[in-house]
Amino acid sequence: MVRAAVGSGADVVGVARRIPPERSAPTGTRWVRCDVGARNADAVLRTAMEGADAVVHLAWAIQPSHDRRRLIRTNVLGTKAVLAAAEQAGVPHFVHASSIGVYSVGPKDRMVGEDWPTEGIRTSHYSRDKVAAERLVDAAERRGVLPVVTRIRPALVVQRKAASELLRYFAPALARPLVRAPLPVLPLPGRAVTQVVHADDVADGVLRILTVRAGGAFNLAPEPPLRPEDLAAAFGARRIPLPGAVLRAGAALTWTTRLQPVDAGWVDMLLGHPLLDSTRARDELGWTPRYRTTEALADVVAGLRAHAGGRGPLLRPLRVFV
């Protein structure tokens, strides 16, 4: 997002708990160190936002998944602090990075628009936090202090540079070396139908939203949907049918025993979330994703195999010795 904004000619003020080294920061950016969940966050944020034409709220924590208090502190209380600071600073346009996870259980055989219910997947901590954050955004919009409020709801956002970050978030340490080679088989339920969107396409969507000052909600997900067979093929594997209950039970057991970092709610979200229709983004923003779902998936899988990464503390390449 920062790279795209700078490329568009914008002056960017980035806010992060761990700011990138000065040598790696793109020209035209200024960084402010702030933990959005800290007590004094709103004061620091308000100063950083003074004179801003827009605020794009991207901060979110996925790990440590066993520490709910810490996740709520960043994701929910942090969103509250960012909104408060934006209101106090008189920001004219607020863009909130929501997620496909905000949607209630939906169909896997057709697409749904932004009017699909947003009660989330209740057994998913991630989904519940996304819903809570959107409710804060809804309340801010009703207060009417922020002239334009936008929510982007992308599918899972991927890119090659994020491969090491994704491995840290979702893969157990002992399994990380295994992604370097094709997998023989990949057990997946039939409802493991999903979408992924490339980070460059999400950034393009946000820039278009900022350009036209578009409010409301926008789904950002390319086509076609990824079937279980597509997911397996991307890893060079043959898909083996697996009951969803078995996958969920395995995730719950291995997460509880801390063998891997993904709780069963992620399985529920994969199997429960609807497929996103991005017609509004195409019609109102002229958004045409550069990457199809299969191409975005191929890009990140290539990165996973290379343990690719980027600059900065979160994107740093994974070092695995085998």
Instruction: Give the pLDDT of residue 26.
Output: 65
The structural domains of the chain, with segments of one domain joined by +, span: 2-306
**Strands in the chain per DSSP E:** 12-16, 29-33, 55-57, 93-97, 111-112, 148-154, 156-158, 185-188, 196-198, 216-220, 238-241, 275-276
Residue 293 has pLDDT above 90, yes or no: yes
Please indicate whether residue 3 or residue 271 has the higher confidence score (pLDDT). 271
Instruction: State which amino acid sits at residue 50.
Output: E
Q: Counting Cβ atoms within 10 Å, is residue 67 exposed (0-12), middle (13-18) or buried (19+)? A: exposed
Are 159 and 300 contacting, i.e. CB atoms less than 8 angstroms apart? yes
The pLDDT-based confidence of 230 (bands split at 50, 70, 90) is very high
Please indicate whether residue 2 or residue 290 has the higher confidence score (pLDDT). 290
Question: Would you call 51 helix, strand, or coil by DSSP?
Answer: coil
Please indicate whether residue 269 or residue 309 has the higher confidence score (pLDDT). 269
Residue 14, sorted as left (phi over 0), alpha (psi -120 to 50) or beta, turns out to be: beta
Residue for token digits 């295994």? 178
Query: What does pLDDT average to over the chain?
Result: 93
The pLDDT-based confidence of 318 (bands split at 50, 70, 90) is confident
* pTM as predicted: 0.93
Q: What percent of the chain has pLDDT over 90?
A: 79
Q: 10 Å Cβ neighbour count for 286?
A: 11
* 263 closest CA partner among 63, 61, 60: 63
Instruction: Give the pLDDT of residue 107.
Output: 98
Are 206 and 281 contacting, i.e. CB atoms less than 8 angstroms apart? no
The pLDDT-based confidence of 176 (bands split at 50, 70, 90) is confident
Residue 321 has pLDDT above 50, yes or no: no
The region of weakest confidence among 1-5, 49-53, 203-207, 273-277 is 1-5
Instruction: Give the pLDDT of residue 8.
Output: 77
CATH superfamily of 2-306: NAD(P)-binding Rossmann-like Domain (3.40.50.720)
pLDDT digits 0-9 by tens, 99-153: 999 999 999 999 999 999 999 999 999 999 999 999 999 999 999 999 999 999 9
pLDDT digits 0-9 by tens, 206-222: 999 999 999 999 999 99
pLDDT digits 0-9 by tens, 241-257: 999 999 999 999 999 99
Instruction: Give the pLDDT of residue 315.
Output: 78
Q: What CA–CA distance (Å, rounded) separates 130 from 271?
A: 17
The pLDDT-based confidence of 71 (bands split at 50, 70, 90) is very high
Instruction: State which amino acid sits at residue 221.
Output: A
